[in-house]
Amino acid sequence: MSPVSRSTQDPLWTRLLLIGAAVFFLVLFLLVPLFSIFAEAFKKGVALYFEALTEENARSAVLLTLTVAAITVPFNALFGVAAAWVIAKFEFRGKSLLLALIDLPFAVSPVVSGLCYILVFGANGVLGPWLQAHDIRIIFALPGMVLATIFVTFPFVARELIPLMQAQGSDQEYAALSLGASGWQTFRRVTLPNIKWALFYGIILCNARAMGEFGAVSVVSGHIRGETNTLPLHVEVLYNDYNMVAAFACASMLSLLGLVTLLLKTFIEWRTGLRHRHS
């Protein structure tokens, strides 16, 4: 930002008052809760903290969370690249409708997105009887949780790539084609290097949300301990059991994930000089 000239500088007392109010608000509202998670988690000592994290149900919850994310994120990254390519590089009828559809998960309640899979795959769902006859479990099992997570997190990569690719235009791709490159070579050697940071950024956000998703997964998980509980669901179970130290210990792991995400995000913004818009 350019230095503010005197005529547009606010008086000192205004500045101090506003800065003070904002800092107080942010600290109270954001930093104190974050701090309290770690404080509660370590309340009864380090030993109990690590015991809570290494206990069997916690370990299987971590494993399930990682599994869900490991399936969800690549799919959504692929979707994000395809959607951004078609939206940024081509004109076609219904493009703005497609753009609006991509935003849908931001407006739909996670509980509703979970519910719609129950209507498809649940025991009373459209495909329920057929699935039962073939002994395929989707709801209250991994596939359902993956689907619900995909639903909630699919816009993240696309939302990062679309504005960037629109701003970059297509001249470099045209140049590559006129130099004899094939479509795939053009994408891999020209487009991909140009979007790699935004792609990484989108993947990080998508991953954070996928690992932390609660509502949608809660609907389709069935809460079977040690089997269909992801880490956030495990936190709920522990909390409802009044096992506060364990609940906050697991929550602190998820908070660490959030903090690492923020750190990487800030790093990318610094590295690329990009200031990102959020949705």
111-130 residues in contact with other proteins (CB under 8 A) are 111-113, 115-120, 122, 124, 126
Binding mask 30-69 for other proteins (x = CB under 8 A): xxxxx-xx--x-----------------------------
Of 185, 224, 226, 271, the residue at the interface with other proteins (CB under 8 A) is: 185
Does 144 bind other proteins (CB under 8 A)? Our answer is no
Among 69, 73, 211, 246, binds other proteins (CB under 8 A): 211
- How many residues sit close enough to other proteins to count as binding (CB under 8 A)? 119
Residue choice 71, 190, 203, 206 for contact with other proteins (CB under 8 A): 190
Among 1-9, 45-53, 54-62, 129-137, the segment contacting other proteins (CB under 8 A): 1-9
From 74, 129, 193, 226, residue interacting with other proteins (rule: CB under 8 A): 193
- 244 lies in the binding site for other proteins (CB under 8 A): yes
Cα 89 to Cα 112, 168, 180: the distances in Å are 33, 10, 19
CA 151, CA 118: separation in Å to the nearest integer?
A: 13
Does the protein bind other proteins through residue 197 (CB under 8 A)? no
For other proteins, the binding residue among 147, 162, 199, 206 (CB under 8 A) is 147
Each as own residue / partner, the long-range contacts of residues 247-254 (CB below 8 Å, 24 or more positions apart, any chain) are 248/37, 248/38, 248/40, 248/41, 248/43, 249/41, 249/48, 249/49, 249/52, 249/53, 250/52, 250/53, 250/58, 250/61, 251/37, 251/41, 252/37, 252/38, 252/41, 252/49, 253/53, 253/62, 254/211, 254/212
Q: Work out whether 101 is an interface residue with other proteins (CB under 8 A).
A: yes
